[in-house]
């Protein structure tokens, strides 16, 4: 039906500040002396189906479809702006669950967002009683739309905790709706503040059961009612201020995403974070989570359900305040660590919270991502075609600045204290992890970037490091060392572009003329047995220079000279690779190998300077490596 065809109701009401569409319909029906069902029908919020049953979904309180909104405005004589203000839609850019709900409603299979109560779940008796004006004395005060949000646990006007049950029937008021916009909408003459929960248990209730009828605007006499701490009131005001149109939408989205993630972590690992909850709220939280566990069980799926926010405002207040406190910790990673560890189902299963985090890691703040990623990131071989993990070191370092095999001084300063794994495994894995930290993706992506084949054993050992770190007394020590090294690299005035060096030396080797000149600088060897300086030794020397310049691992160096040999020769050379490498790198090597290593190191330094200065690819590297400057520098080397 078009809006122009809608007949306006005989009387209407001006919406109250922050009023929900549910509360507005209840007040309007009370003023007109008709059932809320007739108001729903007349305003086209719902129509009768073929069986004559009227239905209006609770999702209409989140947002109205354009045609429905126009018809509702025409019937109630409201403006489009007034109509929209009755729904949660104005908060879609600030509070992610609202946007999620709107996307879900448009989807083929809508999903309910647990951080948006499907109907009004809490209330303030004094708000429902009204402000003393004639219209509110007659029809009651507003059912505020903010009460659908779990982040609302206090009434900032009356400085009291919100209620979630009827004092008479002790049933949660949310049960009266059961997924509908208004429960018991056929009632006539019922005050908007009256409890509509059926007197029989909900699972046995039917349309003929009379509702409870208790006036929820009558504040119950409870001498033990907790006074609202000033800090909680300040927190509630701060939370609500983030929903204001003038507040930064991007900052609000990130904050509420962070708050939800950490609150869910607290819920699913309770009581690990009990110390973050003020004592006067912790006992209620103990009872709440214990009852949930008894009711839902302990499976992974049930643990996810436990993460849903509670309807009880005091438990919700403790949960939200605890999450806010934890997010404010100076060392957020240290604060998160025991909770994430407590949430593990078993040693090799990170628990249900990790999947929640991974779905939201691009929407949360960079600070939370940086703190949580090292604790939850899995060691996958590829990132997959649809989704690439975001980097979590928000600094100025680039993956190009990371060598494939950590240079010795970096390793000594950050990782030498670790025991239980060989330095080779640690240096190799630390490099791959650093690239993953600053570039995102999987370990497989990082290994390929560094020129390490993920299918080789050398890469798969990264998983061993992951398991080893988790078994240490301080599981975060390795990750902290990585972060420290990343910050050290970031502080370098001119970090080296190792990726350019790797590309420039791809397929490179010492040419025969340069090799001959380098050999001419070797000191003479006494005796009849002279060193062999053949092509196999030239290949080994090329690998040494390559490893020195790229800070890569000799196992992954290019070997063009070897590859040009017959297959039998290649096998023979390969069998001697490690022996020659050991002789060149051992601290107490023979005079010949010590002198050769010294000459090759000097040559590598000069060649590295040329590669860095040239900023060229492999095609011009051959020219750069034969420049007179390089040969001149060799002639200045002292005799060994």
Per-residue pLDDT at 68 exceeds 70 = yes
Find the Cα–Cα–Cα–Cα dihedral 620, 626, 630, 634, rounded to 10°. Answer: 150
- Other Cβ atoms less than 10 A from the Cβ of 423: the count is 14
Query: What pLDDT digit, counting tens, does each position of 399-436 carry?
Result: 999 999 988 899 999 988 887 778 888 888 889 888 88
Average pLDDT over residues 256-278: 94
Per-residue pLDDT at 151 exceeds 50 = yes
Q: Which of 369, 416, 407, 557 is nearest to 492 (CA)?
A: 407
Tokens 């967002």 belong to residue = 113
Q: How far apart are CA 264 and CA 305, in angstroms?
A: 10
Q: Which of 44-48, 130-134, 574-578 has the lowest mean pLDDT?
A: 44-48
pLDDT band at 110 (very low <50, low <70, confident <90, very high): very low
3-state secondary structure of 601: helix
SS (H, E, C) 149-180: CCCCCEECCCCEECECECCCCCCEHHHHCCCE
Q: How far apart are CA 440 and CA 370, in angstroms?
A: 11
DSSP lists the bridge partners of residue 19 as: 144
CA atoms within 13 A on the CB side of 448: 11
Per-residue pLDDT at 121 exceeds 90 = no
Taking the alpha carbons of 456, 462, 463, 468 in that order, is the dihedral positive or negative? positive
Query: What pLDDT digit, counting tens, does each position of 490-504 carry?
Result: 888 888 999 999 999
Q: Which CA distances in Å does 347 have to 122, 138, 195, 588?
A: 40, 62, 49, 44
CA angle 589, 594, 596 (to 5 degrees): 135
DSSP lists the bridge partners of residue 349 as: 346
pLDDT confidence of residue 451: 85
Give Cα 298 distance to the centre of its chain: 24
pLDDT confidence of residue 390: 59
3-state secondary structure of 144: strand
Q: What is the mean pLDDT of the chain?
A: 84
Q: Which of 486, 497, 327 is nearest to 391 (CA)?
A: 486
Domain boundaries defined on the chain = 3-204, 248-376, 399-495, 502-635
Q: Which ranges of 152-248 would DSSP assign to H, the alpha helix?
A: 230-241
Q: Are 431 and 450 in contact (CB under 8 A)?
A: yes
Task: Determine what percent of the chain is predicted with pLDDT higher than 70.
Answer: 81
pLDDT band at 204 (very low <50, low <70, confident <90, very high): low
pLDDT band at 237 (very low <50, low <70, confident <90, very high): very high
Task: Determine what percent of the chain is predicted with pLDDT higher than 90.
Answer: 54
pLDDT confidence of residue 6: 86
pLDDT confidence of residue 186: 87
Taking the alpha carbons of 599, 603, 606, 609 in that order, is the dihedral positive or negative? negative
User: DSSP label at 588?
Assistant: T
Q: Are 128 and 217 in contact (CB under 8 A)?
A: yes
Average pLDDT over residues 51-80: 88
pLDDT confidence of residue 635: 32
Q: Which of 347, 441, 350 is nearest to 392 (CA)?
A: 441
Q: How far apart are CA 423 and CA 578, in angstroms?
A: 17
Per-residue pLDDT at 466 exceeds 80 = no
pTM of the model: 0.70
User: DSSP label at 19?
Assistant: B
pLDDT confidence of residue 622: 44
Query: What pLDDT digit, counting tens, does each position of 319-371 carry?
Result: 999 999 999 999 998 899 889 888 876 555 567 888 888 888 789 999 999 88
Q: What is the CA radius of gyration of the chain?
A: 35
Per-residue pLDDT at 178 exceeds 90 = no
Q: Which helix (H) or strand (E) holds 319?
A: helix 313-327
Per-residue pLDDT at 299 exceeds 60 = no
Q: How far apart are CA 489 and CA 403, in angstroms?
A: 11
pLDDT confidence of residue 108: 43
pLDDT confidence of residue 616: 45
Per-residue pLDDT at 298 exceeds 70 = no
Phi, psi of 248, rounded to the nearest 5 degrees? -65, 120
Total number of residues shown for the chain: 640
Q: Are 637 and 526 in contact (CB under 8 A)?
A: no
Q: Are 443 and 390 in contact (CB under 8 A)?
A: no
Q: How far apart are CA 468 and CA 415, in angstroms?
A: 14
Peptide bond into 271 cis (omega under 30): yes
- Other Cβ atoms less than 10 A from the Cβ of 425: the count is 16
| DSSP labels, 515-554 | HHHHHHTSPPPPSS-PPP-SHHHHHHHHHHHHHHHH---G
Phi, psi of 161, rounded to the nearest 5 degrees? -65, 145
Per-residue pLDDT at 461 exceeds 90 = no
Which tokens sit at 231?
């800090």
Q: How far apart are CA 321 and CA 235, in angstroms?
A: 7
């Amino acid at each position: 039906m078009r809006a122009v065809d809608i007949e306006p109701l005989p009387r209407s009401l001006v919406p109250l500040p922050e009023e929900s569409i549910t509360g507005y319909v209840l007040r309007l029906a009370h003023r007109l002396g008709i059932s809320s069902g007739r108001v729903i029908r007349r305003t086209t919020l719902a129509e009768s189906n073929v069986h004559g049953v009227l239905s209006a979904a609770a999702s209409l309180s989140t947002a109205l479809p354009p045609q429905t909104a126009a018809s509702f405005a025409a019937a109630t004589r409201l403006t489009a702006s007034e109509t929209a203000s009755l729904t949660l839609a104005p908060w879609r850019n600030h509070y992610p669950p609202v946007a999620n709900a709107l996307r879900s409603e448009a989807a083929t299979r809508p999903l309910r967002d647990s951080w948006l109560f499907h109907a009004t779940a809490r209330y303030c008796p004094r708000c429902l009683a009204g402000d003393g004006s004639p219209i509110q004395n007659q029809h009651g005060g507003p059912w505020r739309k903010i009460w659908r949000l779990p982040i609302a646990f206090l009434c900032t006007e009356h400085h009291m905790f919100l209620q979630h049950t009827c004092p008479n029937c002790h049933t949660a008021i949310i049960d009266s709706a059961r997924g509908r916009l208004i429960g018991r909408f056929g009632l006539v003459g019922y005050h908007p503040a009256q409890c509509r929960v059926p007197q029989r248990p909900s699972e046995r209730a039917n349309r003929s059961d009379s509702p409870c009828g208790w006036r929820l605007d009558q504040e119950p006499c409870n001498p033990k009612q907790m006074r609202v701490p000033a800090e909680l009131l300040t927190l509630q005001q701060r939370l609500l201020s983030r929903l204001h149109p003038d507040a930064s939408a991007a900052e609000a989205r990130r904050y509420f995403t962070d708050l939800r993630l950490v609150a869910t972590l607290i819920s699913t690992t309770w009581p690990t974070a009990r110390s973050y909850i003020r004592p006067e709220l912790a006992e209620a939280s103990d009872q709440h989570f214990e009852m949930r566990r008894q009711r839902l069980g302990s499976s992974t799926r049930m643990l996810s359900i436990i993460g849903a926010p509670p309807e009880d405002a005091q438990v919700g207040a403790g949960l939200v305040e605890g999450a806010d406190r934890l997010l404010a910790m100076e060392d957020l990673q240290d604060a998160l660590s025991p909770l994430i560890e407590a949430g593990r189902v078993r040693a090799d299963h990170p628990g249900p919270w990790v999947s929640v985090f991974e779905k939201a890691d691009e929407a949360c703040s960079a600070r939370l991502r940086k703190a949580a990623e090292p604790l939850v990131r899995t060691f996958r071989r590829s990132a997959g075609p649809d989704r690439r993990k975001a980097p979590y070191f928000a600094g100025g370092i680039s993956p190009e600045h990371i060598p494939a095999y950590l240079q010795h001084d970096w390793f000594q300063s950050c990782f030498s204290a670790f025991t239980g794994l060989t330095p080779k495994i640690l240096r190799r894995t630390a490099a791959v992890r650093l690239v993953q930290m600053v570039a995102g993706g999987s370990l497989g992506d990082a290994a390929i970037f560094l020129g390490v084949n993920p299918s080789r054993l050398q890469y798969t050992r990264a998983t061993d490091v992951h398991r080893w770190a988790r078994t240490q007394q301080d599981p975060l020590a390795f990750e902290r060392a990585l972060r420290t090294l990343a910050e050290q690299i970031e502080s370098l005035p001119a970090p080296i572009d190792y990726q350019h060096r790797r590309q420039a030396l791809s397929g490179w080797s010492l040419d025969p003329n340069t090799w001959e000149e380098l050999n001419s600088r070797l000191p003479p060897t006494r005796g009849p047995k002279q060193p062999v300086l053949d092509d196999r030794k030239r290949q080994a020397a090329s690998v040494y220079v390559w490893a020195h310049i790229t800070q890569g691992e000799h196992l992954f160096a290019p070997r063009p000279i070897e590859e040009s040999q017959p297959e039998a020769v290649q096998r023979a050379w390969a069998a001697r690779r490690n022996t020659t490498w050991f002789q060149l790198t051992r601290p107490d090597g023979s005079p010949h190998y010590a002198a050769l290593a010294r000459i090759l190191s000097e040559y590598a330094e000069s060649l590295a300077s040329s590669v860095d200065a040239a900023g060229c690819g492999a095609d011009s590297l051959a020219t750069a490596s034969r420049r007179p400057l390089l040969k001149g520098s060799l002639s200045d080397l002292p005799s060994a």
